[in-house]
């Protein structure tokens, strides 16, 4: 039994819970300038042998579903937009920078996917949205930004929001000021043009037994429709009719979300397919290959090691905080220890997947400077470390589900038989047909449950 976090979540935050021995980093002994074709990408090794492909290699690499480089398409802003509705959004063509998924060959080792995701996704005075958007662009990594719809709704217009079971205009997170709304729109526009996903964190962030946990499928549909409406009508609500539209059709872009406090997901899952969702990331899971529930890919946050403790913690900044300082402004003297603890936990979780079952790793975060910003610094450090490793793909949830949908279901079924950190007993070269004949821990088939 994993003990729950001691700290109860305050309004507008997320509540969750949380070992394995560390795994030594693997180095690649290649001379400078040596080139290796790995999964469709030409990797040119520099003197430090970290496997970062140079620009020429990136452009020369063939496109594939894993290790394929993102298309260097022109920015969406350079295309002729087709305005939608009041002009807040526009269709500008296919999203730039997305690779075409490729089905794995029998016995082929899968890439190590890592998804960095962000709850709320507003650009306030901390400028953390822009910080991590730029970092992802620098590293060739795409991310998922779970936008809270009311972050595009001025507080003066709050009565347009009708939360299920709450008074009109109510919200357990604050509305953004005008300048923060402008900055958020700018970041959303740039993030999408760089290949990132704009998903949803819904609106008012109501936690507890009378909040989203109590909502019916119909109420989830109503909440999601409003989140979409705020994105599609910010020109109407702000009056900024000359500001450039967001360069996408949100009815097509929105394919998944994460619920506030990871609550209420069962009825959200029941409503998901009717809303065009393809995945949900509101669960509490472990580092194994995903399956579908109610027709949606179930891509939960995952339990990873909590170094120095006898339990594991969900792979999210808030959950480390809840098991460390238990508040947002803990002792400065202990922050270096907490920072090291979170980094070591995430890296051990990564290592056991990377050297084991290659299950996609999901990391969740908030644009917050809790405990002096140590969690943001850890996330940046981990991104810089893992996203440049060989056979690692730092992707959005959209890219991950595109890849999953392109695979042979029997291959994914074979992968799901592997436990946390477990490699195939006879190596990755064994065909999935042969692997499925062996006893396994996870014999269930792909599909709903």
Please say whether the beta carbons of 9 and 207 come within 8 A. Answer: yes
Helices (H), 313-423: 317-322, 335-352, 374-386, 397-406, 409-416
List residues bridging with 280 in a β-sheet.
257, 298
The rounded percent of the chain whose pLDDT value lies above 70 is 78
- Looking at residue 442, its pLDDT comes to 47
% helix, strand, coil for the chain, step of 5: 35, 15, 50
Distance CA 440, CA 127 (A): 47
- Looking at residue 438, its pLDDT comes to 63
* Token pair for 177: 């000021």
Q: Angle formed by the axes of helices 128-139 and 374-386, to 10°? A: 10
The answer, as to whether pTM is greater than 0.95, is no
List residues bridging with 188 in a β-sheet.
none
Please say whether the beta carbons of 171 and 203 come within 8 A. Answer: yes
Summarize pLDDT for 306-358 with one digit per residue, the tens: 999 999 999 999 999 999 999 999 999 999 999 999 999 999 999 999 999 99
Cβ neighbours of residue 60 under 8 Å, at least 6 residues apart? 42
Summarize pLDDT for 175-185 with one digit per residue, the tens: 999 999 999 99
Distance CA 147, CA 33 (A): 42
Distance CA 423, CA 183 (A): 45
Please say whether the beta carbons of 292 and 300 come within 8 A. Answer: no
* Token pair for 247: 């360069």
Q: Which residues of the chain have pLDDT under 50?
A: 1-77, 442-449
* Number of C-beta neighbours around residue 24 at 10 A: 7
- Looking at residue 106, its pLDDT comes to 84
Which domains occur in the chain, in start order? 107-436 (3.20.20.370)
Helices (H), 273-334: 317-322
27-40 as b/e, with b when 16 or more CB fall inside 10 Å?
eeebeeeeeeebbb
What are the DSSP calls for 46-58, one per residue? -TT------HHHH
Please say whether the beta carbons of 358 and 421 come within 8 A. Answer: no
């Amino acid at each position: 039994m994993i003990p729950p976090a001691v700290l109860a979540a305050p309004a507008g935050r997320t509540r969750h819970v949380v070992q394995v021995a560390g795994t030594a980093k693997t180095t690649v002994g290649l001379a400078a300038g040596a080139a290796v074709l790995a999964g469709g990408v030409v990797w040119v090794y520099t003197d430090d042998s970290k496997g970062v492909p140079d620009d020429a290699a990136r452009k020369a690499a063939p496109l594939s579903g894993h290790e394929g480089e993102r298309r260097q398409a022109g920015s969406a802003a350079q295309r002729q937009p087709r305005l939608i509705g009041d002009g807040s959004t526009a269709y500008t063509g296919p999203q730039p920078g997305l690779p075409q998924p490729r089905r794995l060959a029998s016995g082929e080792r899968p890439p190590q996917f890592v998804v960095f995701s962000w709850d709320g996704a507003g650009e306030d005075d901390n400028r953390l949205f822009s910080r991590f958007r730029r970092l992802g662009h620098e590293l060739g990594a795409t991310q998922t930004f779970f936008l809270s719809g009311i972050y595009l709704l001025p507080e003066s217009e709050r009565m347009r929001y009708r939360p299920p079971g709450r008074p009109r205009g109510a919200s357990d997170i604050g509305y953004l000021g005008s300048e923060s709304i402008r900055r958020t729109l700018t970041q959303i526009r740039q993030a999408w043009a760089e290949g990132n996903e704009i998903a949803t964190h819904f609106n008012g962030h109501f936690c507890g037994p009378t909040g989203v946990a109590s909502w019916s499928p119909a109420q989830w549909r109503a909440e999601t429709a409003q989140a979409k409406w705020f994105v599609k009508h910010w020109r109407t609500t702000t009056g900024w009719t000359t500001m450039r539209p967001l360069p996408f059709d949100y009815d097509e872009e929105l394919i998944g979300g994460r619920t506030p406090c990871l609550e209420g997901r069962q009825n959200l899952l029941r409503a998901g397919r009717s809303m065009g969702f393809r995945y949900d990331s509101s669960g509490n899971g472990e580092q194994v290959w995903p399956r579908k529930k109610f027709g949606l890919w179930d891509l939960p946050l995952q339990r990873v090691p909590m170094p120095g403790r006898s339990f594991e913690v969900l792979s999210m900044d808030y959950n480390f905080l809840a098991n460390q300082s238990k508040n947002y402004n803990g002792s400065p003297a202990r922050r270096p220890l907490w920072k090291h603890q979170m980094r070591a936990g995430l890296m051990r979780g990564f290592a056991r997947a990377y050297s084991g079952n290659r299950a996609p790793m999901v990391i969740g975060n908030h644009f917050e400077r809790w405990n002096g910003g140590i969690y943001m610094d850890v996330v940046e450090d981990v991104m810089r470390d893992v996203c440049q490793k060989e056979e690692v793909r730092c992707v959005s949830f959209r890219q991950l589900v595109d890849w999953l949908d392109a695979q042979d279901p029997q291959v994914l079924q074979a992968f799901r038989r592997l436990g946390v950190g477990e490699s195939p007993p006879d190596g990755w070269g064994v065909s999935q047909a042969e692997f499925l004949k062996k006893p396994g821990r996870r014999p269930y088939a792909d599909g709903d449950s």
